[in-house]
A = this chain, B = another copy of it.
Amino acid sequence: MSSQYGKKLKISVFGQSHGKGIGVTVEGLPSGERIDRDQLMAFMARRAPGQSNLTTSRREKDEPKFLSGLENDTTCGFPLCAVIENTDTRSGDYAGLTKTPRPGHADYTALLRYGDSVDMRGGGHFSGRLTAPLCIIGGIAKQILARRGIHVGAHIKAIAGVQDESFPLYPTKEIFDTVAAKSLAVIDDKAGEQMRAEIEKASAELDSVGGIVECAVIGMPAGIGSPMFDGIENRIAQAIFGISAVKGVEFGAGFKSAEMRGSENNDPFTVKDGKIVTETNNCGGILGGISNGMPIVVRAAFKPTPSIARAQQTVNTETLEPATLEIKGRHDPCIVVRAVPVVEAVVATVILDMLMEESTNGSF
């Protein structure tokens, strides 16, 4: 098993980068939810390639065709299947990659796992292109959540060490919208300019850079999640590592909290507008795996794009001889730019899943 997640929602992603099509099936969506197609396409466009000089020149419309589950733009209760046909593929670029596997890529491990029949053209099922189906269901989840006053937004927290501001204690839908409209999804445009310079510099040097995406959920009901292995952290962490290139995840103060004193890290309870809240949010809205009503805050670390144009050292898997690899193909010098909506999508999907599952809070 691999490309599935969810409990009440059951999401199954399929497709290879250079196969006939990619897509997603989803069971368990609530029935009767109207989906705004334009809004969905606008969301997916934030992930689409070719939007600026910072991303790959591969261009595809990525318009999903809904085979089932959505009639008259409304969910009908039955499993939804959405398909994007692959059109603009150049498989020749990838010939031989399983013989001389790309460092930092799944070429070698996929060969070990699936044998000679594995289809690794364009990265196969490991391709970043497979994040498009995640955005289909994520975009749908965002609309269903928004109807209930729950909003999910993200921004680039860092690229190549250049830091954006963090979200404020109470992020707003306005901040989310403003950030999402920018070509580089940052809060502080000066940081954005520096990031852009770093990406261009790396690109010019046939190299790539990594970064951090910060995501928040506002309007989150308190009391969602379960102890130990089924809390919000467990569920988001499991899902977010499903995005290619993620190597770390943290909630609230995260790794910083490891350096803090308890008196500093503990979020004092107080009352605001007749509601129990905390004065700080080092816990990222989650205590014991369960939401406390404060914004959920999660950050994901992305490694630099492994496909770089520089010559790299590898091994011929058949002869075990050293080999030098020069990767062709069209690659983003920094995938973080396009990963922002993908993180939103994954977080929104997990939150919707957990809300549907836990909506009864143990009473029915």
The answer to the question of A20 belonging to the interface, with a C-beta cut-off of 8 Å to chain B, is: yes
Within residues 155 to 204 of chain A, which ones have a CB less than 8 A from any CB in chain B? Answer: 158, 160-161, 202
- Which listed residue (B5, B25, B125) contacts A25, Cβ 8 A? B25
Within residues 215 to 266 of chain A, which ones have a CB less than 8 A from any CB in chain B? Answer: 222-231, 233-235, 237-239, 241-242, 244, 246-255, 257-266
Within residues 132 to 166 of chain A, which ones have a CB less than 8 A from any CB in chain B? Answer: 148, 158, 160-161
The answer to the question of A126 belonging to the interface, with a C-beta cut-off of 8 Å to chain B, is: yes
Closest Cβ of chain B: how far from A104's Cβ, in Å? 4
Does A210 contact B2, Cβ atoms closer than 8 Å? Answer: no
Within residues 18 to 39 of chain A, which ones have a CB less than 8 A from any CB in chain B? Answer: 19-23, 25, 27-32
The answer to the question of A359 belonging to the interface, with a C-beta cut-off of 8 Å to chain B, is: yes
Does B261 contact A209, Cβ atoms closer than 8 Å? Answer: yes
Interface string of A1-28 (1 = CB under 8 A from B): 1111101101011111001111101011
The answer to the question of A47 belonging to the interface, with a C-beta cut-off of 8 Å to chain B, is: no
Does A304 contact B261, Cβ atoms closer than 8 Å? Answer: yes
Besides the contacts A21-B67, A103-B278, A113-B225, what 11 more A-B pairs have beta carbons closer than 8 Å? Answer: A2-B229, A15-B68, A67-B83, A76-B117, A106-B287, A109-B225, A238-B238, A248-B248, A248-B254, A260-B304, A276-B317
Does B361 contact A113, Cβ atoms closer than 8 Å? Answer: yes
State A30–B113 Cα separation when bound (angstroms): 10
The answer to the question of A57 belonging to the interface, with a C-beta cut-off of 8 Å to chain B, is: no
Does A259 contact B160, Cβ atoms closer than 8 Å? Answer: yes
In the bound complex, residues from chain B placing their C-beta under 8 Å from that of A29 are 362
In the bound complex, residues from chain B placing their C-beta under 8 Å from that of A320 are 271, 274, 276
Q: Which 10 A-B pairs have the closest CB atoms?
A: A106-B288, A77-B114, A248-B250, A2-B226, A112-B223, A208-B262, A109-B290, A104-B266, A359-B364, A238-B238
The answer to the question of A329 belonging to the interface, with a C-beta cut-off of 8 Å to chain B, is: no
Does A12 contact B254, Cβ atoms closer than 8 Å? Answer: no
Closest Cβ of chain B: how far from A117's Cβ, in Å? 4
Closest Cβ of chain B: how far from A106's Cβ, in Å? 3
- Which listed residue (B30, B251, B267, B274) contacts A103, Cβ 8 A? B267
In the bound complex, residues from chain B placing their C-beta under 8 Å from that of A314 are 268-269
